[in-house]
Structure 1
Amino acid sequence: MFGTVLVANRGEIACRVIATLRRLGIRSAAVYSDADAGAKHVALADVAVRIGPAPASESYLSIAAILDAATQVGADAIHPGYGFLSENSEFARACAARGIVFIGPPPSAIEAMGDKIAAKALVAGRGVPVVPGSSGAGLDDAALTAAATEVGYPLLIKPSAGGGGKGMQVVATPGELPAALVSARRIATASFGDDTLLLERLIAAPRHIEVQVLADRHGAVVHLGERECSLQRRHQKVIEEAPSPLLDDATRARIGEAACEVARSVAYEGAGTVEFLISDADPGTFFFIEMNTRLQVEHPVTEAVTGLDLVEQQLRIAAGEPLAFAQADVVVTGHAIEARVYAESPARGFLPATGTVLGLVEPTGPGQRVDSSLVPGLVVSGDYDPMLAKAIGYGADRTEALARLDGLLRGFAVLGVETNIDYLRGLLADPAVQAGRLDTGLIDRLGVPAPPEPTEADLAAAALAVHRDRPALPGPWGLRDGWRVGGVSRPARYGIEVGADIREVAVDPAPASTALVAVQRVRGGHVVWLHRDGRTLELPVPDRAERLARTLAALDRSTGPAAPELRAAMPGTVVSVTGEDGARVDAGDPVLSIEAMKMEHALLAPHSGTLRLRVRTGDLVRRDQIVAIVDLDVDLATEHPETDQQEKSA
């Protein structure tokens, strides 16, 4: 076994790997960018090395920086986690050249499965069924357009070199194809350095089933059962479980053997995942879509039902040990479900969120597990993936696993950064999810949730929190008991923002219920973060000056067909500017795109008019920042003369 292992990653997976290294008595080495100097994985490791500035291209994706760090700490091996360099064959070869073990499969296996076009052809030749789609490598847009006619609509565009759903585009009609190809190529180039694309038939009501495999250097290959990963949004998994509620024993055995055959086809070594699509209408027929040549985010549910530590298995295989068990020894017991906790705003269409962790509660109990990178004071920026933690519930059956996961999420509180925890509880409670009637389109059909509505008790707790946070005054005013000159007492009142309204709330010095509260002072007032009764709320409390400014702005508000300003819906980087400053645009024309946390969001012209840009490609923007203005066309402005003057002054 190794003496020192460097973990070439960050966040919850780095913490997860370090935990196993510590249990096995192996010295752990962390790496960190400037943005992660105070991160949890840095504190957990035995030693840590700075590898560069915040951009991943200059730190976590820098092969030279990672290898130099490994040499500095005397690492025998490098665990890449997932994402970043975990499926980079050049990195695997560079490790070998330095005499350092890459804890993963051989470079040849990474390359074979990294090219999705070649991988489909390879496994099809071994008798594994594949999804119909384009077959040529390096097709240009004209060739892909021609191939789309044969594949048929709706179809799916996929970067050949990528994974994790990045760059994937659903195309329903031929008219949508050109723009989707441009976007997919741009994201593929930025994420993988390769803009090769392929097309696949979009399977109706698909269910995403993946099989965990382990393979040693001595030719043994086993599978550890399947995981259901059908609850997805934008091709990113949200809820995963093991085993799948769909498969019967016969299909389970066939899909497991097919996964093992895929691994054998590339002489695989280590832990890997083979992914399949199954139509909900035909659960006995499955199609290979790709193999991820690394550990998966959702590996904890497999660990829960098999009792195996997959990171330990990776280490032992990389050290040359044979598997200590055969396929007949693998027994799946009980049921496990995982929910991914993201820094995002569900009510804003699940756009990424940023902030500083002001308060944190991560519950533990029987059948509950949290894999997390969260610590109080952590700054969540837009530099990396928005996943903060994973919550796992395990039980004797699916019903118990769901209940334990919901109980965990009910007590899980993150203050200071908006998350999807409340949304996850609502999703798990959906009747279709409870019944196991899943498919990859279910989350999209459920739509964007409404923001949570605070109760009177919530508002009272927020008002009291702001009241206590105000600076103390001298004399009797410092008591804050509502005393007024003349002997008349009147409780202090605060205006709390609820949706588009301001609710006046009197301070109750003795609230009826308790809550986890954090108060954040911001320009124009306060923001109260509140966790009560299993819900987390963000409640802005504007001060008097801010409220007056809003009142005046409301009096001057445009009555035209749409507001002229385009605002950034999320913090991030402007990655493309489609429109030209001073040019005319039509309603719905793309103006620019913003990217944060591996997600790209396009902004469209709200109406026809003249475009005035406020940003350029590469600019960093904050949420709600005005990035462009579209002055109304003259004919529309004359229909709304009161709008014209106000927009000119804007």
Structure 2
Amino acid sequence: MFDSVLVANRGEIAVRVIRALRRFGIRSVAVYSDADVDALHVRQADVAVRIGPASARESYLSIERIIEAAVSSGAQAVHPGYGFLAENAEFARACDKAGLVFIGPPVEAIEAMGDKIRAKLTVAAAGVPVVPGRTEVGMTDDDLVAAAGEIGFPVLLKPSAGGGGKGMRLVESGDGLRDAIESARREARGSFGDDALLIERFVTNPRHIEIQVMADAHGRVVHLGERECSLQRRHQKIIEEAPSPLVSPEMRDAMGTAAVEAAKAVGYVGAGTVEFIVDGASGDYFFMEMNTRLQVEHPVTELVTGVDLVEWQLRVAAGEHLVLGDLTLSGHAVEARVYAEDPARGFLPTGGTVLALHEPSDVRVDSALAVGLAVGSDYDPMLAKVIAHGSTREEALRRLDSALGRMVVLGVTTNIPFLRALLADPDVRAGALDTGLVERKLESLVRHDVPDEVLAAAALERQLAVRGDDPWEKSGGWRVGEHAWTKWLIDGVEVRVRGDEVSIADKEPLRLTTSVDGTSLTVGGRRYAMARAGNVLWLGADGRAWALTETLPSEAESSSAAGSGGPVTSPMPGTVLVVRVGQGEHVTAGQPLFVVEAMKMEHTVTAPVAGVLTEVRVQAGQQVALDETLAVVVPHEE
């Protein structure tokens, strides 16, 4: 076994690998960018090496800098985690050239499966069924348009060089196909450095089911059952489980055999995942791609098989024979991904500083969260994974929902309430899944409201905070002989407080007992986690979190949008990739004006009204904040 291993990644996967290394007594070496100087994986590693500025291209995607860090730190091997350089053949080749063991498959396997076109041709030759489509190398935009006409809509555009939903576009008709091709190529080029695309028929009622494989360098390849990954948003997995409620033992054997054959076809070594798209009605399955690395959702397989996949990655890379014995699936496991994103704003990435944190201890939590962690827009928005195991699927779902209800993350808006709503959906409970379920039910799964009781809690907390012994120092709420009403604006809603009475928007007053205990606030018997950043109070309960801006009405400044007419603001913190218009141009309502990118996600910003651009305040490459004004559109009538 190795003496020292460098982990060429960050976040929760780096923490996960470092903990495995610690169990083996192996010295761990972390790498970090300037944005991660205080990150949890840096704190937990035995050694940490700076590799560059916040930009991933100059740090976590820099092969040269990571190799330098490995050599200078005395590491013998490199674990790539997932994402970044995990499936980069040049990185694996550079490790070998530097005398480092790459804890992953051979370069030839990465190249064969990393190119989606070549992968489909390879596994088809091995007898594995593939999705109908066109996979020629070097297809032009015109070729793709022609292929779509041949295949028939809907079609799926996919980058040849990568996965994870990045650059993937579902196109329902010929309208917008060329725009989708342009966008897919741009995102693929930015994510993988290669804008080659392939096109496939989109399977209706599709389920996304993948098979975990493990192979050693001595020719043995086994599968460890399947994972159901059909609950997705924009081709990004949200909740995964093992085993799949759809798959029978016979189907598992057939798909497992196909996955093993696919791995053997490229001489695979290590942990990998063969992904299939399955017709939910017929049960027919088709090869989609092979991820030549550890998967984000690997914990559910570990919990139902009892196999530590990272441990076997290390053993296989060290040359050991794969000895797993008789593999059986025990119980059921479900994983939920916690993202820094706001479902109420179209799942756009968020940011901030973690002010308060509680992670449940009775389930598995793979996390890089820590109080004080700054969450920016430089990297993927996934913060943690919560994984529950039960003897049945129902028990696993119940335990996961309970754990999410007890999780607290204040300071950064997350998708935890959305995850709980999804877990409660009747079709999800029944196992009637497909990759379009989330999109169809989105409106019922996303909550925009701030309950009256939360507004009341915020006003009462503010009232407690400003009370003092000197009545002249009180915030307008003292009169001779009695208290008077104090008015607060909580997120723009007027809340009146007098002693333990509270009235919201002139509703009948309620009398609520209130107490503050350090980082918690109890109002009317309900306990909230609490944290403050300036005049913003964060409250958390039952998995939900609210960022509430508190202002005295007398202090509130009336504000209007920048300029007259319609302001154009950034929907997320990030980088302006494209500026499509110039100052003084006439635009129509809905016309694309800018493309903003954050955490590997692109968002097109459109004109809110028809009019004239009187101001354009940004240029391509500029960093922007959430809700920052990009331009001002003055309507024609003005």
**Inter-CA distance 94–529: structure 2 relative to 1 (3 Å threshold):** same
Query: Structure 1's 77 and 477: CA in aligned 2 closer, same or farther, altered over 3 A?
Result: farther
Once the two structures are TM-superposed, the CA of residue 631 in structure 1 deviates from its matched residue by: 2.3
Q: Does 1:567 align with 2:566?
A: no
Find the counterpart in structure 2 of residue 631 from structure 1.
Answer: 634
Q: Decide which moves more: 167-176 or 234-243.
A: 167-176
**C-alpha separation between the residues in 2 aligned to 1:288 and 1:180?**
24
- The change in CA–CA distance for 1:482 and 1:577 in structure 2 (over 3 A counts) is closer
Q: Which residue of 2 aligns with 1:640?
A: none
1:530 maps to 2:539: yes
Give, in angstroms, the shift of residue 557 of structure 1: 11
Contact map agreement 2:477 2:486 (CA 8 A) in 1: no
Q: Aligned partners of 2:290 and 2:555: how far apart in 1?
A: 53
Residues 278, 384 of structure 1: alpha-carbon distance in 2 compared, 3 angstrom cutoff:
same
The answer to whether the aligner puts 1:395 opposite 2:386 as a matched pair is no
Alpha-carbon displacement from aligned partner over 1:422-451 (angstroms, at most 9, x marks no partner): 110000000010000100011111124453
C-alpha separation in 1, matches of 2:525 and 2:556: 29
Q: Is the 8 A contact 1:460 1:507 kept in 2?
A: no
Give the whole-Å Cα distance in 2 for the aligned partners of 1:105 and 1:231: 28
1:290-333 CA-to-partner distances (Å, cap 9, x unmatched) read 0000000000000000001110010000000010125xx11111
3-state secondary structure, aligned to 1:146: helix
**Higher mean C-alpha displacement, 63-72 vs 480-489:** 480-489
The superposition leaves residues 264-297 of structure 1 with CA deviations (integer Å, 9 ceiling, x where unpaired) of: 00000000000000111112x1000000000000
Which structure 1 residue ranges, 5 or more long, are not aligned? 638-643, 645-650
Task: Indicate the RMSD between aligned Cα atoms, in angstroms.
Answer: 1.9
By how many angstroms is 1:458 displaced? Answer: 2.4
2:153 is aligned with 1:156: no
Superposed counterparts of 1:471-490, under 5 Å: 475-477=470-472, 484-490=478-484
Give the one of 376, 384, 391 matched to 2:379.
384
Quick check: 509-518 or 167-176, which moved more?
A: 509-518
Q: Which residue of 2 aligns with 1:332?
A: 329
In structure 2, the CA distance between the partners of 1:546 and 1:311, relative to structure 1 (3 Å rule), is farther
Match of 1:281 in 2: 281
SS in structure 2 of the partner of residue 174 of structure 1 = coil
* Aligned-partner Cα distance in 2 for 1:534–1:102: 40
Aligned match of 1:232: 232
Following superposition, the deviation at residue 585 of structure 1 comes to 2.0
Aligned-partner residue type, residue 354 of structure 1: G
Map Cα deviations across residues 571-628 of structure 1 (whole Å, 9 max, x no partner).
Answer: 1110111223222222222111101111100011223322242211011111111111
User: For 1:492-544, what per-residue CA distance to the aligned partner results, in whole angstroms no more than 9, with x for missing partners?
Assistant: 442212xx64444456354333534434344xxx2111112443222221344
* AA matched with 1:361: H
Q: Does 1:520 align with 2:529?
A: no
The secondary structure found in structure 2 opposite 1:549 is coil
Unpaired runs of 5+ residues, structure 2, are 501-513, 516-522
Q: Tell me the equivalent position of 1:435.
A: 430
Corresponding residue of 1:11: 11
**d(CA) in 1 for partners of 2:450 and 2:633?**
35
1:517–1:528 Cα contact (<8 Å) kept: no
Map of 1:648 onto structure 2? none
Secondary structure (helix, strand or coil) at the match of 1:130 reads coil
> Does the residue aligned with 1:175 lie in a helix, a strand or coil?
coil
1:167-225 CA deviation, whole Å, 9 max, x = no partner? 00111111211101110111111111101011010000100000000000000000000
The 5 A counterparts of 1:9-48 are 9-48=9-48
AA in 2 matched with 1:364: S
Alignment length (residue pairs): 616
Partner residue of 1:194?
194
Please state if 1:96 is matched with 2:121: no
CA distance in 1, matches of 2:295, 2:585: 46
Separation (CA, whole Å) in 2 of partners of 1:379 and 1:507: 37
Aligned: 1:549 with 2:558 = yes
> How do 1:583-622 residues align onto structure 2 when only pairs under 5 Å count?
583-611=585-613, 612-622=615-625
Instruction: Please say if 1:464 is aligned against 2:473.
Output: no
Amino acid at match of 1:337: V
> CA 1:217–1:521 in structure 2 vs 1: closer, same or farther (change >3 Å)?
closer
Q: What percentage of residue pairs aligned between the two structures are identical?
A: 56
Q: Is the 8 A contact 1:493 1:507 kept in 2?
A: no
Query: Does 2:401 match 1:406?
Result: yes
Q: Separation in 2 of the partners of 1:240 and 1:450? A: 19
TM-score between both structures, scaled by the size of structure 2? 0.93
| Secondary structure class of the residue paired with 2:482 | coil
CA distance in 2, matches of 1:483, 1:627: 41
Q: Match for residue 425 of structure 1?
A: 420
| Preserved CA contact (<8 Å) 1:460 1:506 | no
What pairs with 1:197-216 in structure 2 (closer than 5 Å)?
197-216=197-216
| Gap change, CA 1:7 and 1:477, over 3 Å in 2 | farther
| Counterpart position of 1:171 | 171
Name the SS of the counterpart of 1:540 in structure 2.
strand
Superposition map of 1:142-153 within 5 A: 142-153=142-153
Name the structure 1 match of 2:111: 111
The aligned counterpart of 1:647 is none
Q: Distance in 2 between matches of 1:354 and 1:613?
A: 25
What corresponds to 1:641 in structure 2?
none
TM-score (norm 1): 0.91
More helix as a share of residues: 1
